[in-house]
Structure formats: structure tokens, C-alpha cells
């Protein structure tokens, strides 16, 4: 099973930049998209269907905002829209699909960059989502959580840790959440295979040269619960795929 997680920063914009042509290269069996900024009715889904993908969408109530989608060549056994947390579900942040004994969660974590109000919401969301995941693991131990976490975990995951120590996405409280999350039995699949530095998945659009200079952040993840450790085959980041300010992250595991 090959999985890609990719924040497109607007799927319609990405489709004008060759996203569908990239899908023709068969990059994965399952493509998890965050920040669609659209609902299914606003997008021409025919190209996805022609490539053999089933498509599932969970969009925000606010038009042109947030939203997640999954394109999969493997038909899921079950789909769950949201988590039952109303504030999160209104923003279309989590879509869940069951494949055999595994559940895949595609999540778009909130950003706190717009100010204190959203940073507070982000902390509340992290707390609620962690509780949801802990409860879910009691009934479904084999979980795959992918998405844009909007958190760079360690200094190795950001090009300028000193200069960003007070920046949302690298705040001590956010990094501590990641510490506790991983200590609770989740595996950072990319780091499982790649301990090396300077591997990022997002680059600021405010400064046009930073991507070429690789001054980025690793804020996109595919994590799995410990029982799936023996199924891990490979993980990767694809910085040369450019339909967004993010790039795809990849995981291959035995089904």
C-alpha cells in the first residue's frame, strides 16, 4: 500500500499547475489531500475517475477554506467524515477510511499564524484530537495518521530553529505535544528511515527564493501506531514536486 499526503493549498490552483499530469505517473495508491479550498461540486473530478481513483471529500462550511479529500485506487471498507468535534468538523479537518484491519486518518491541523485566537484554537484542537485518537486506538489499534500537522517537531525539522523559536508551528507547547504524541506509541515514519537533516515539506511563499535555497520546515507527516512498525517498507519526501507551497510525503507499507 503506497500512501501520499499532500497539502495542495487549493486543489483547483494545483490542477492548473499539472497536478493531474503528476497523478498519471501513479505516485501512490492513496492520495490524501489537505487544504482543498473547495467542495467536490466545484471541481472537475473526471480526471481522477479516469485514472481509477475513488474520491471522497470532507469540505469546510466556509467556501474556499480548509477541507480534506482522499483519492484512492483501493476501495475503502468504510468512510467516517469528521470526528464529532463540531468546531473541527465545520472546518472540514479530518476524513477517515478503513482498509482491512487499518484505519487511515487524513487530517489538516489548524494553523496559529493568524494570531492569538487561532493559536488558542490550535491548542484546543490538539488536545481534543489527541483524546479522540487515544479512544480510537482502543477499538482500532492499527492507525495511520497523515496530514499537514502545522508543527515542526525538532530543530532538525526547520531551517532556522533559533530565528523561529517564537513562531507558530515551532512553539515549545506545540513541540511538546509532538513529544507526547510520539511517546504514546506513534512512529514518525519518515524519521524511521531518514535521520538526516535538511529534509523539508513546506517553504514560505512570502520569500520566492527560499524553496530553491531549501529554507523550509517539515510539517507534513505520515505517522503510524506501533503495531504497524513491522509493515513499514519505505518513506520519502518529494521536494521536486511543485504544485503547492508544500510537497508530497510518502509511505509504503505492507497491507
The catalytically annotated residue of 26, 98, 148, 160 is 148
77 is catalytic: no
Residue among 99, 96, 158 at smallest CA distance from 133: 96
Residue among 78, 69, 79, 73 at smallest CA distance from 28: 73
Which ranges of 140-169 would DSSP assign to H, the alpha helix? none
Q: 3-class secondary structure for 2-63? A: EEEEEECCCHHHHHCCCHHHHHCCCCCCEEEEECCCCCHHHCCCHHHHHCCCEEEEECCCCC
C-alpha 92: how far from chain center: 13
> Which residues are catalytically annotated?
148
Amino acid at each position: 500500500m503506497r500512501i501520499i499526503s499532500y497539502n495542495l493549498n487549493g486543489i483547483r490552483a494545483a490542477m492548473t499547475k499539472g497536478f493531474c499530469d503528476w497523478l498519471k505517473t501513479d505516485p501512490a495508491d492513496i492520495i490524501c489531500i489537505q487544504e482543498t479550498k473547495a467542495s467536490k461540486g466545484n471541481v472537475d473530478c473526471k480526471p481522477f475517475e479516469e485514472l481509477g481513483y475513488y474520491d471522497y471529500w470532507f469540505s469546510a462550511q466556509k467556501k474556499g477554506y480548509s477541507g480534506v479529500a482522499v483519492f484512492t485506487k483501493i476501495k475503502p471498507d468504510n468512510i467516517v467524515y469528521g470526528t464529532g468535534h463540531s468546531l473541527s468538523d465545520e472546518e472540514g479537518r479530518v476524513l477517515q477510511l478503513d482498509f482491512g484491519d487499518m484505519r487511515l486518518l487524513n487530517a489538516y491541523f489548524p494553523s496559529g499564524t493568524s494570531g492569538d485566537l487561532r493559536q488558542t484554537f490550535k491548542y484546543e484542537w490538539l488536545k481534543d484530537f489527541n483524546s479522540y485518537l487515544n479512544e480510537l486506538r482502543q477499538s482500532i489499534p492499527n492507525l495511520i495518521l497523515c496530514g499537514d500537522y502545522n508543527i515542526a517537531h525538532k530543530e532538525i525539522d526547520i531551517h532556522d530553529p533559533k530565528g523561529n523559536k517564537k513562531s507558530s508551528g515551532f512553539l515549545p507547547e506545540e513541540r511538546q505535544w509532538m513529544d507526547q504524541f510520539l511517546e504514546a506509541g506513534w512512529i514518525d515514519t519518515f524519521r524511521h528511515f531518514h535521520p538526516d537533516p535538511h529534509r523539508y515539506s513546506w517553504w514560505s511563499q512570502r520569500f520566492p527564493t527560499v524553496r530553491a535555497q531549501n529554507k523550509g520546515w517539515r510539517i507534513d507527516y505520515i505517522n503510524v501506531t506501533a503495531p504497524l512498525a513491522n509493515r513499514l517498507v519505505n518513506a520519502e519526501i518529494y521536494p521536486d514536486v511543485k504544485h503547492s507551497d508544500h510537497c508530497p510525503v510518502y509511505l509504503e507499507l505492507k497491507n
